[in-house]
Structure 1
Amino acid sequence: MPIISVTVGVALLLVLMMVFKLNAFVSLLIVGLFVGVLEGMSPLEAMESVEKGLGGTLGHLTIIIIFGAILGKLMTDSGGAQRIATTLIHSFGEKRVQSAAVITAAIVGIALFFETGVVVLIPLVFTIATAARVPVLYIGMPVIAALITMHGFVPPHPGPTAVASVFGANIGLTMILGIIIAIPAFILGGPVYTKFFKKESLEIEIPKGLFNPKEFKEEELPKFGISLFTALLPVILIALQTIVQIVAPESPIAPVTNFIGDANVALLISVLVAIFTFGLNLGKKMPEIMQSLSEAVSGIALILLIIAAGGAFKQVLIDSHIDKYISDIMAGSTLSPLILTWLIAAILRIAVGSATVAGMTAAGIAAPLVAATGASPELMVLAAGAGSVTFSHVNDAGFWIYKEYFNLTIGQTIKTWSVMVTIISIVGLAGVLILDMFI
């Protein structure tokens, strides 16, 4: 039975990654070949399917993911992220520093990958907490909550963007719905969850020697308005296309918004603008700016490979007709495909640690459910995203990044980080199910 092949394949994936500590890219390729052969494909046919999946996935996503990484890198290297943070904090005042920090993380989190966002914002967290005389985690937990939520739910981040391609979802609509769901998720997982802790339990000793943040002088920083506009430009362009498609699809401006709002074009335009606003306009020379681009591309290489391998696994499921079998099973099922997708992603996340692997594998398995049940592909993306950020523990790199930067014990990390991301995951699922009533 095909369902046994999928189950055995997922089990093999867990063994390769957890027991043998094999890289996710290699593991997914092996599993794809293995499942294809189990389902009657010849080894050569299985390899051809893997190649087709690799090429198809990278061809669709490479521009978005690489340009997203470049935009984030330019914003970091120019001090744009620092300008947004300090301006909002000064505007909100000492009594509302937590709100300012969360808004900063949400805005910056649209353009920056989670790990980059942590590196950029944690020094500011320490500075804010010290200046406002509040516990470090009182600021730190909400900031991390906003970063990880945007990373898991909102394109152009690699995970949700890749999953959207598997489900055939509209990137713009996924982004808008993702932001709608992300806001209550990171508010409940961050600021609200911190209220359940005693003040002294949120205080930590700031680790010494861990940070070497670049100190930008005031005159070196880009202006706030320019920084904010550049950071949000891809969101503005993609959202504009989606709004015109919904409100006035036959409008004369529709061809223009369809072009500039295409995710690839929107990111390209944003990077070109960023080269000026975060580079040339600050007196930087092109070789220095191009160095930032090179570093951004090298930093995203492994994520691209993992996503490509996830696409290869998905293609094997399609070419071996397992997808049709899953569709037939679910056609008469009463279980919500959104809940099933969330559950698959959550189990994989807990088992293998990688949110990207969890989301992509769940999407490959659940993709046939869109046609079989009529579920919204955009909500399926968000269900997989919500599941992929659930209970993170010692097998997840994010767990250790959070632990080390905040100088916590494993117990403290589980109590704060692991529970926090689980709250975000559950609230995300609830948001998906609520939106499903109206879409």
Structure 2
Amino acid sequence: MTTPVLLAIGVGGILLLLFLIIKLKLNAFLALLIVSILVGLAAGLPLATIPATDTDPERLGIVPAIVAGLGSTLGSIAILITLGAMLGRIIELSGGAASLAGRFTEILGPRRVGAALTGAALVLAIPVFFDVGFIILVPIVYGFAQAAGLKPVRFGLPVAGIMLAVHVSVPPHPGVVGGAALLGADIGWLTIVGIVMAIPLAFVSHLLAGRLTRRDIDMLPSTREMFEQSGRGGVQSTVTGTITSTVAPPSAGMILTLIVTPLVLIGIGTTAATLLPAGDPVRNVAQFIGAPLFALLITVLLAIYFLGVRRKWGRDKISDVLESALPPTAAIILVSGAGGAFARVLTESGIGSALSSTLLATGLPILVLAFVVSLALRAAQGSATVAILTTAGLLASTVADGGYAPLQIVAITLAIAFGALGLSHVNDSGFWVVTRYLGLSVSDGLKTWTVLTTVLGLCGFALVAAFWGVLAAIG
């Protein structure tokens, strides 16, 4: 097929995907599988795999291509997402989130409560999914807002902003991990660079949210009632999974140590791979303990002991806590895998190569393409994870053929991630979580939350562009 026809099939497939998810409200997993099959048929993929010959390479059939894409993506992300969810759940139910926020407040002082909460949210968001992490902090946001005589949006908006920024850009969160798998980005470097960039974004979130909430914003009646009840101890019932215990919650230092542990291990592996020659025994050991799977597994085991066993949780309790982390991750893992399947079909059909040659012919910078395509998909269908995975699939051939260095691929992955950060609006479930807990109407949500996420996305892209420039300058 000609390049224009292949590109038309690719665009039509994406438009159909958006139609199925947005208009027909079809489950994203089913929508991705359906579109993958239709795109494969339209692009002329064989119904069954054609073996390789002396003159032609093997051509995967439609279903084998879907299975291969699903399997390769799940092989990279399923374990990381599951372990990350378990770690987050243990921290959530042990009371560690409250301890972390309280300690940050003590260090920074009562006048800097907003900054303290934003800083705590940045750290907490590394192992905890956005929706869960934000809900964990809602009682703390309400409590500080009541003490200061302010509405919860003043404290909650910057917290939500930085948590979403971390969610889209720092492993083990599903979108960025899946995008890294599709593009071949190094998870260790992606984690390090993503966290470094999240720090200035925390300041942006805190400062900009302060300006956006400077005017008086009316609270929704239902949120006002919940907010007032929280002062009488009623808010805990709105946070799923909250447990009562006579055992003191873990210290902030313990929680911080557990969160930092996998980052340190991954950093050791990445540093050893950079400084030591291939085959060096020390490098091999460092890369083993620095593998994200091993680092997260060790951290989960440490959390089970220090937050569970030492705090008198019985075996049944620990088992229940770990089991409760699994159901919410199932849909995320499956959607991520289906995104990988769609990407594989785009590659096998030649659409990825056609897009690659077309994009390269335009002369547009790869970073700009990565950011803009991801931002457009995010605005169109709402899911940051789907936007990242789809964009990564579209650009996978371009990246593979471009001869980019490992850190440049990390930068491209982050450009995609920050594109998926912006333009959160009514088709995004996170939009409703944030606006309802903070008492914002749809109009006020668009004026505050949508603006904040978009500015954070643009600032994140600016940081990526600066990082790209440094890489180009040093060779």
The reply to whether TM is greater than 0.5 is: yes
Q: Distance in 1 between matches of 2:46 and 2:386?
A: 26
Aligned residue identity for 1:291: D
Q: Distance in 2 between matches of 1:144 and 1:207?
A: 21
2:265 maps to 1:237? yes
8 Å CA contact 1:185–1:423 kept in 2: the answer is: no
Question: Rg larger in 1 or in 2?
Answer: 2
2:199 maps to 1:195? no
Taking only aligned residues, the RMSD between alpha carbons, in angstroms, comes to 1.9
Partner of 1:66: 82
Q: Distance in 2 between matches of 1:80 and 1:418?
A: 30
8 Å CA contact 2:182–2:393 kept in 1: the answer is: yes
Tell me, what secondary structure is at the counterpart of 2:126? helix
Tell me, what secondary structure is at the counterpart of 2:462? helix
Q: 1:159: how far off?
A: 1.0
Q: 1:196: how far off?
A: 4.6
Give the counterpart of 1:227 among 218, 234, 255. Answer: 255
Q: Distance in 1 between matches of 2:118 and 2:219?
A: 18
Partner of 2:8: 4
| Structure 1: runs of 5+ lacking an equivalent | none
Q: Distance in 1 between matches of 2:117 and 2:203?
A: 12
Partner of 2:195: 179
Partner of 2:37: 33
8 Å CA contact 1:210–1:405 kept in 2: the answer is: no
Give the counterpart of 1:335 among 364, 381, 386. Answer: 364
Tell me, what secondary structure is at the counterpart of 2:216? helix
Task: After TM superposition, list the pairs within 5 Å mapping 1:9-408 onto structure 2.
Answer: 9-44=13-48, 45-201=61-217, 206-208=224-226, 211-212=236-237, 213=239, 214=242, 219-249=247-277, 253-375=282-404, 376-408=408-440
Aligned residue identity for 2:35: V
Partner of 2:56: none
Q: 1:407: how far off?
A: 1.6
Aligned residue identity for 2:465: L
Q: 1:203: how far off?
A: 7.4
Q: Distance in 2 between matches of 1:59 and 1:215?
A: 34
8 Å CA contact 2:219–2:439 kept in 1: the answer is: no
Q: Distance in 2 between matches of 1:7 and 1:230?
A: 44
Q: Distance in 2 between matches of 1:216 and 1:239?
A: 36
Q: 1:218: how far off?
A: 7.6
Aligned residue identity for 2:305: F
Q: For each residue in 1:138-162, what CA deviation from the matched residue of structure 2 results, as whole angstroms up to 9, or x when unmatched?
A: 2111111111011011011111111
Q: For each residue in 1:219-259, what CA deviation from the matched residue of structure 2 results, as whole angstroms up to 9, or x when unmatched?
A: 42112222211122221211222223334456653222201
Q: 1:275: how far off?
A: 0.8
| Structure 2: runs of 5+ lacking an equivalent | 49-60, 227-233
Q: For each residue in 1:255-300, what CA deviation from the matched residue of structure 2 results, as whole angstroms up to 9, or x when unmatched?
A: 2220111111111111111110111011101221111111111110
Give the counterpart of 2:459 among 409, 424, 427. Answer: 427
Identity %: 34
8 Å CA contact 2:86–2:326 kept in 1: the answer is: yes
How many aligned residue pairs are there? 439
Q: 1:309: how far off?
A: 0.3
Q: Distance in 1 between matches of 2:257 and 2:116?
A: 18
